[in-house]
Amino acid sequence: MSGEGQTDLRVFREEIRTWLEENNPGTPPPLDTVEMREWSSEWQRRQFDSGWAGIDWPVEYEGRGLSFLEQIVWFEEYVQSGLPVGHSCFVVALAHAGPTLIARGSDEQKATYLPPILRGETPWCQGFSEPGSGSDLASLTTRAEIDGDMLVVNGQKVWTSYAHLADFQELLVRTDPAAPKHKGITWVICDMRTPGIDVRPIRTIDGGAHFSEIFYEDVRIPIANVVDEINQGWSVAMSTLAIERGPAALDYQLGTLRDIDALVELAKQRQLLKNDELAARLSAVRAEGAALRSMTYLSVAEAKSGAAPSAMTTAVRTFWGELQHKVGRLAIDVLGSDSLELGTWSAYWLTQFSAGIAGGTKDIQKNIIGERALGLPR
């Protein structure tokens, strides 16, 4: 990078810091309700109006057209400002539906769907998993039959985050049951207000209801909504997953570093750093946090170069999941019996278990590392 570029980035960082100080909403987002959608829409709109939405999205679709480096600086400052990370029903739209459309959508699809995402108007959700088709995603059975210029969808999805708040869905359907399982799948944009869609929220152990099961009965979707070609959806889904498992997790991963600092501070306040065993464990997670930061930047750079999802991205994700588990366990030990009350850290402990499941379980990730990086037999 040139010296001039470095100076620009410093100025850019300073601008972000000032803007976040002056515009921090001040209140945390409400959880999982329509109020969450209102809060997220308003906050996203405010970022858009000031030029902080879609920093690396193309200018013709109302992004800033800057590089991913500037986007990283935004995430770093955002996390540093103390704002909650990921608590938004725009996560799917901004982190992987939009980027998938940028990579694989038609010009018309991009023009239709990208600007409303950046303006905070249209949250999206992801309809990939089904009962019986999670790890083995290619075995999905939600069926779409062609009827003129429409697809008619019947079947069921599950674990769909923010489905009850979303306007659109990145939906995987089986369009050719006779083809080998990876070859008969289609990635299609589904309008969640289409008749025949029934969204049923699922309550979780931390008291929320952020995801749902969804039933589709004769849901009619224009074939014009297919991204890429009919029956080419597996390749589009791999683009989505490469983004979801790589760049899309960056702000969350930086958020874990912030969590570690907060936990060390809590242990300090409770005079627990005199406990050698606890202090050693806290030092170890802090060191692992520093390692996570370096590995994250390496894997994001690799994913942004357009390379196929690699064992490196998977290794970082596995390391991050294990680190969240250690941080959560340490938090319980720092709090002792106070952790029995539901609060920030006990919710963290309950939620971290999902880090080893969402976006591909830790066992599947280890299979990928074993087979692709270590060359072990299947």
Ligand X SMILES: Cc1cc2nc3c(=O)[nH]c(=O)nc-3n(C[C@H](O)[C@H](O)[C@H](O)COP(=O)(O)OP(=O)(O)OC[C@H]3O[C@@H](n4cnc5c(N)ncnc54)[C@H](O)[C@@H]3O)c2cc1C
Question: Active-site positions?
Answer: 244
CB of 227 to ligand X, least distance (A): 16
Tokens of 184: 């008969």
Contact call for residue 156 and ligand X (CB under 6 A): no
- Cβ distance to ligand X smaller for residue 129 or 299: 129
Site string for ligand X, 84-103 (x = CB under 6 A): --------------------
Q: How many whole angstroms from its chain centre is CA 261?
A: 23
Among 7, 135, 283, 294, which residue sits at the site for ligand X (rule: CB under 6 A)?
135
Residue with Cβ nearer ligand X (33 or 81) = 33
The verdict on 69 binding ligand X (CB under 6 A) reads: no
Two structure tokens written together for 155: 């079947």
Host H or E run for residue 215: strand 211-222
User: Minimum distance from CB of 356 to ligand X (Å)?
Assistant: 8
Is 49 near ligand X (CB under 6 A)?
no
What is the number of the residue whose Cβ is closest to ligand X?
134
367, 369, 370, 372: residue in contact with ligand X (rule CB under 6 A): 367
Given the complex with ligand X, which of 80 and 361 has the nearer CB atom? Answer: 361
Residue 55 · residue 74 · CB < 8 Å: yes
Q: Which of 40, 160, 313, 346 binds ligand X (CB under 6 A)?
A: 160
| Total interface residues for ligand X by CB under 6 A | 20
Establish how many alpha carbons lie within 13 A of residue 334's alpha carbon, considering only the half-sphere containing its beta carbon.
Answer: 29
Q: How would you class 168 by CB atoms within 10 Å of its CB: exposed for 0-12, middle for 13-18, buried for 19 or more?
A: buried
Q: Binders of ligand X among 180-239, rule CB under 6 A? A: 211
Are 225 and 190 in contact by the 8 Å Cβ rule? The answer is yes
Token pair for 131: 């009962």
Here's the x/- map for ligand X, 327-366, by CB under 6 A: it reads as: ---------------------------x--xxxxx-xx--
The whole-angstrom separation of Cα 251 and Cα 284 is 22
In whole angstroms, the minimum distance from the beta carbon of 133 to ligand X comes to 7
- 263 membership: H or E segment, kind and range: helix 250-269
Tokens of 102: 């940028």
Closer to ligand X at the Cβ: 33 or 80?
A: 33
- Please identify, among the stretches 24-32, 111-119, 154-162, 339-347, the one whose residues bind ligand X according to the rule CB under 6 A: 154-162
Residue 130 structure tokens: 């089904």
Task: Please give the structure tokens belonging to residue 233.
Answer: 């959806």
Give the nearer residue to ligand X in terms of CB position, either 64 or 164.
Answer: 164
- Spell 59-98 as b/e; 16+ CB within 10 A means b: eebbbbebebebbbbbbbbbbeeebebebbbbbbbbbbbb
Q: Which is nearer to ligand X, 72 or 172 (CB)?
A: 172
Instruction: List the end-to-end C-alpha distance of the chain, in Å, as a whole number.
Output: 42
Site string for ligand X, 103-132 (x = CB under 6 A): ----------------------xxxxx---
Please identify, among the stretches 10-18, 28-36, 111-119, 159-167, the one whose residues bind ligand X according to the rule CB under 6 A.
159-167
Question: What whole-number distance in Å separates Cα of residue 234 and Cα of residue 378?
Answer: 21
Would strands 168-174 and 124-127 be described as parallel, antiparallel, or unpaired? parallel
Of 63 and 321, which CB lies nearer to ligand X in the complex structure?
Answer: 321
Residues lying near ligand X in the complex (CB under 6 A) are found at 125-129, 134-135, 159-161, 211, 354, 357-361, 363-364, 367
